Amino acid sequence: MVDYFKIEELLDTEHRLVRDAVRQFVQAEIKPHIDGLAQEHREFPGLMKKLGDIGALGPFIPQAYGGPGLDYMAYGLIMQELEAGDSAIRSAASVQSSLVMYPIYTFGSEAQKQRLLPALASGECIGAFGLTEPDHGSDPASMETRLHADGDGYRLTGAKMWITNAPICDIAVVWARDEQQKVRGVIVERGMEGFSTPETLHKWSLRASKTGELLFDRVFIPKENVLPEVNSMRGPLSCLNSARYGISWGAIGAAIDCYETALQYAQEREQFGKPIAAFQLQQKKLAEMLTEISKAQLLAWRLATLKNKDQASPQQISMAKRNNVHMALTVAREARQVLGAMGIVGDYPIMRHMMNLESVITYEGTHDIHLLITGQDITGFSAFN
Ligand code: TGC
Ligand code: FAD
């Protein structure tokens, strides 16, 4: 993979080993099949167990709970390599790691951690994360999903929408307000009466990933399925910090795959008697792609060093997610043009990455929302309320 500023030298041996193992996995297991699956709108068969086998689920979860206990640099590199395969593959790993395992590890009881984390780390149990609702996307604090006390637990009523892996999940970490208006996280399990997960069909993006709804019709949630250690928006928003961090790395993988494809094509394709790479306009496109990728790589590396020291602020993570996803989408759009008509067919990965990145720039906080988070941080004024 392209590494113009020798980020390689900034990694230690363990980081390189982890990165190379995931790179090999993507090369051997994902790339040969991903176009067909995306074209047919099918998820990757047995994906979660395969991701579990290579330690890509909850990389930062300690070994005592079944995780590999790696640091955040390794987590970022894993996300980068997976997204070079497809954003759907990185999405599956992000949701399981940052949005399901992270909250159970951080806010769960010892019993919840012991029961669920090892099965989530191995991919035997598939998790989903329910925050977004039909009428509340960018403003999740206005959620309408409710918990009402009932005997030795609660009744959960409401609906979550646009949920990655909803149709195939075994459990879902769901955020709802209780009767005291506190935001609580609960673990909903497949088979609980009143819980259903219809699929969202006809997507033009992330076609190798299942998206759906989580519907709760007075679902009984026993007290032992409530995350005990959090009761405010800090809960779901902390999960988003972890996932957004991973996406800031992942987007680089997609961008590199597009850039490398365009570079090779431009060197081989001849028009007017010479390779199109010899024309200045194509060189400009390629040079600018590489410049932006290199800047994003350095930003991600620096963010990882801060995150490893627990010093990465949510606002820094927002800036990195926003910048790197926008960079990747811009690279994909430019790279597609380098291929001319060939850019629109599945023989090359660019159009698929481009369509995927239209979701990535929207989920985990839209491009606008992350700009406003930076705006608030630097001016002291919130544009939200
Ligand atoms: P605000 O009033 O600012 O804060 C409410 C409380 O939350 C705390 N807080 C945070 N805590 C941790 N991390 C953060 N990033 C935090 N941001 C805020 C804050 O300190 C406060 O705590 P407390 O204890 O005082 O109550 O919040 P707000 O309601 O004004 O909203 C702010 C806003 C708009 C930035 C936020 O709600 C937001 O980020 N909106 C975007 C929604 C979003 O990103 N949704 C993502 C859904 S999940 C998803 O998309 C998964 S895709 C998965 C895949 O397939 O990869
Ligand atoms: P809206 O909030 O309605 O925004 C629409 C437009 O208005 C956007 O351009 C936005 O930037 C703009 N806007 C909103 N507020 C402001 C403002 N204050 N100022 C300026 N502009 C504003 N959610 C989950 O909880 N779990 C998941 O697993 C999950 N997976 C997803 C998978 C996919 C494929 C997709 C597409 C989405 C997923 N989401 C998930 C939902 C995602 O997080 C939301 O789509 C996202 O937060 C935006 O919400 P929205 O779509 O309702 O857009």
What CATH number is attached to the domain comprising 193?
2.40.110.10
Q: Which of 47, 91, 240 to mutate to test the pocket of ligand 1 (most atoms within 8 A of CB)?
A: 240
Query: Average pLDDT in the 315-321 region?
Result: 98
Q: Note the ipTM here.
A: 0.98
**Which of 121, 124, 143, 123 has the alpha carbon at shortest distance from 132?**
143
Distance 141 CA to ligand 1 centre (A): 8
Q: In angstroms, rounded to a whole number, what is the distance separating the alpha carbons of residues 294 and 291?
A: 5
Q: Whose CA is nearest to atom 50 of ligand 2?
A: 137
Q: How confident is the model at residue 46 (pLDDT cuts 50, 70, 90)?
A: very high
Looking at the fold, whether 24 and 89 belong to one and the same domain comes out as yes
- pLDDT band of residue 49 (cuts 50, 70, 90) is very high
Q: Show the DSSP H helices in the chain as ranges.
A: 13-25, 31-39, 47-53, 72-85, 87-94, 102-107, 110-122, 234-268, 280-308, 314-338, 350-360, 367-379
List pLDDT tens digits, range 289-313: 999 999 999 999 999 999 999 999 9
DSSP H or E stretch at residue 187: strand 183-189
Look at residue 137 and tell me if it is in a domain. yes
**pTM, rounded to two decimals:** 0.98
- If one counts the domains in the chain, the total is 3
- Is 193 annotated as catalytic? no
244 and 354 part of one domain: yes
Q: Please enumerate in sequence order all residues whose Cβ is within 8 A of that of 315, keeping only pairs 6 or more positions apart, or say none.
A: 373, 374, 376, 377
> For residues 35 and 88, what is the distance between their CA atoms, to the nearest angstrom?
12
238 within ligand 1 shell (Cβ under 6 A): yes
Of 76, 97, 98, the closest CA to residue 252 belongs to 76
Percent of the chain scoring above 70 in pLDDT: 100
Output the average pLDDT for the chain.
98
Going by pLDDT thresholds of 50, 70 and 90, the confidence category of residue 385 is confident
Give every CB contact of residue 45 below 8 A, 6+ residues apart in sequence.
none
Domain extent, residue 186, equals 128-225
Do 348 and 245 share a structural domain? Answer: yes
Residues in Cβ contact with 227 at an 8 Å cutoff, skipping those fewer than 6 apart: 103, 104, 107, 108, 109, 112, 173, 184, 185, 186, 187, 235
**Domain boundary residue, one of 193, 225, 257:** 225
CA 160 to chain centroid, in Å, comes to 18
Per the domain annotation, does 1 fall within a domain? no
Q: What is the pLDDT of residues 84-101, one digit of tens each?
A: 999 999 999 999 999 999
Q: Which pLDDT score, from 0 to 100, does residue 259 have? A: 98
Pocket test for ligand 2, best of 329, 362, 374 (most atoms within 8 A of CB): 362
Q: In the prediction, which pLDDT does 288 show?
A: 98
Secondary structure letter of residue 343 according to DSSP? G
pLDDT of residue 25: 98
Q: Are residues 163 and 170 in contact, defined by beta-carbon separation less than 8 angstroms?
A: no
State the average pLDDT over residues 361-371: 98
pLDDT the model gives residue 333: 98
CA separation for the pair 168, 189 (Å, rounded) = 12
| Residues linked to residue 146 through DSSP beta bridges, in sequence order | 157, 177
Closest atom of ligand 1 to CA, residue 232: 26
Cβ of 249 closer than 6 Å to ligand 2, yes or no, is: no
Secondary structure class of 175 (helix, strand, coil): strand
| Structural domain includes residue 24 | yes
Residue at 357 is within a domain: yes
pLDDT at 180 over 90: yes
Residue of minimum CA distance from atom 51 in ligand 1: 364
Residue 384 domain-assigned (yes or no) = no
- Residues 157-183, buried b or exposed e (16+ Cβ, 10 A)? bbbbbbbbbbbbbbbbbbbbbbeeeeb
Name the residue at shortest CA distance from atom 14 of ligand 1. Answer: 237
pLDDT at 6: 97
Indicate if ligand 2 lies below 6 Å from the C-beta of 164: yes
Distance in Å, CA 212 to ligand 2 centroid: 14
Average pLDDT of the segment spanning 67-90: 98
The answer, yes or no, to whether any atom of ligand 1 lies below 6 A from the CB of 251, is: no
Out of 101, 126, 151, a domain closes at 126
